[in-house]
Amino acid sequence: MSRRRFKPATASSHWPATGAVFAFPIAFILLPLAAFLAYSFFWTEQGVMSYALTLRNYARFFTDPVFLPVLRQTCVLCLEVAFLTVLAGYPVAYFLASLRGRIRYILLMLMLVPLLMSYVIKIYAIRSILGGHGALNRALLWLGLIDEPLTVFVFNLNAVLLTLTVLLIPFAVLPIFLSLERIPRSLMDASADLGASATQTFMRVILPLSLPGTITALTFVFVLAIGDFLTPQMVGGQSGFTFGRIIYSQFGTAFNWPFGAALSVILAVVVIAAIALGTIFGRDRSALK
């Protein structure tokens, strides 16, 4: 009998079972990521791979006048998307959290159902709404705001911005809703009891307490937006170039895998930085007791 703390003899405490549990994640998550990281240090020229480690891919990224501006532009775009979704999502989350009983969860479910709808179809549908014959132009024509259909809504960065915002709103609503839901009603009663107006209660009690959820929402949406290459590919046209599209093209038309891997590593660094920032600023200070 071992002198260690006794564990009930479940299957998982045996070495073969432990090995089996680790096998799949190591074989199909860890090793692929390692291979991918290694690739970013390889080099290819005219279809010939060189497996000698080099920093040339990274050097190319920082020196070529194309890539860095696209990355910056993409980051700005995704930040805009994140702020727009929070701007739209906060009032919705606030309204849902203010409801009582079953209706609040039914509406929340309804808010999340579109997430499970085909992503590709939604992009396509939004594109057709934004397009020349689409619902948006018709509405504007009908309102008399414009005389002929506008083409500024599709096949450019505006289109990417609008489409991503519509697609990602539910991801902003959910974390904000969860943080609002956790605020006890008694805090609002206490604030009112102490003489605060509804606005003061919101600004001084609710907003600070829901800040962690709001920051989570920003991080969440930003990460999802920056990793997306489908939306820009479909509604971005020639001018709506984003970082994700460039990466994807390295594995398609440009066929330069090592360089694509290096660009993806840079994308991963941006994502990790975003998550880290979100974690630092979104830490729930009131929970640290």
Partner 1 sequence: MTRDSRGNWFLAGFTLLVFILLYGPIFVPIASSFFALKQGVVNWQQPTTLAYVTLASNEGILVALRNTMIVGVSAVVCSLILGMASALYFNSGRSKGRALLQFIIFLPFLMPPIITGLALLIYFREIDFDRSLVTVIIGHTVFVLALVYRTLLVRLQSLSRSLVEASYDLGASGFQTFRYVLLPNLTSAMIGAGVLAFALSFDETMITLLVTGTDNTLPTRLWAMMRLGFTPDINALVAVILALTTLMCLLAARYLMPRESTGT
Partner 2 sequence: MSTDKLLLELKAVSKSFGSTNVLAHIDLAVRDGEFITILGPSGSGKTTILRMIGGFESPSSGQILLDGADISPLPINKRPFNTVFQDYALFPHMTVAANVGYGLKVRGTKNAEITDRVSQALALVQLADFAGRYPAQLSGGQRQRVALARAIICRPRLILLDEPLAALDVELRRHMQLFLKDIQREIKTTFLFVTHDQEEAIAMADRICVMNAGHIQQLGSAHEVYYRPANEFVARFFGDNNLIEGRLQETVDGIRWIETPLGRLACAIDGQAGVAAASLGARAFAAFRPESLSLTPTGHASENATRGCITALSFAGAHTLANVAVDAAEPLSLRLRLPSRVEGVAVTPGMIVDLYWRAVECRLVLV
Cα 275 from Cα 226, distance rounded (Å): 12
Give the three-class secondary structure for 50: strand
Per partner kind, with CB cut-offs from 5 to 8 A, the member of partner 1, partner 2, none near residue 19 is none
Query: Phi/psi of residue 138, each to 5°?
Result: -60, -45
**102: contact with partner 2 by CB under 8 A:** no
Of the candidate residues 1, 48, 109, 288, the single one contacting partner 1 (CB under 8 A)? 109
**110: contact with partner 1 by CB under 8 A:** yes
Window 17 to 56, contacts with partner 1 (CB under 8 A): 17-18, 20-22, 24-26, 28-33, 35-36, 39
Per partner kind, with CB cut-offs from 5 to 8 A, the member of partner 2, partner 1, none near residue 54 is none
Cα 69 from Cα 153, distance rounded (Å): 23
Contact code string over 155-194 relative to partner 1, x by CB under 8 A:
-----------x--xx---------x----x--x------
Cα 100 from Cα 94, distance rounded (Å): 12
Buried b (16+ CB within 10 A) or exposed e, 74-102: bbebbbbbbebbbebbbebbbebbeeeee
**117: contact with partner 1 by CB under 8 A:** yes
**10: contact with partner 2 by CB under 8 A:** no
**1: contact with partner 2 by CB under 8 A:** yes
CA 179 to chain centre: 18
**241: contact with partner 1 by CB under 8 A:** no
Q: Enumerate binding residues for partner 2 (CB under 8 A).
A: 1-6, 8-9
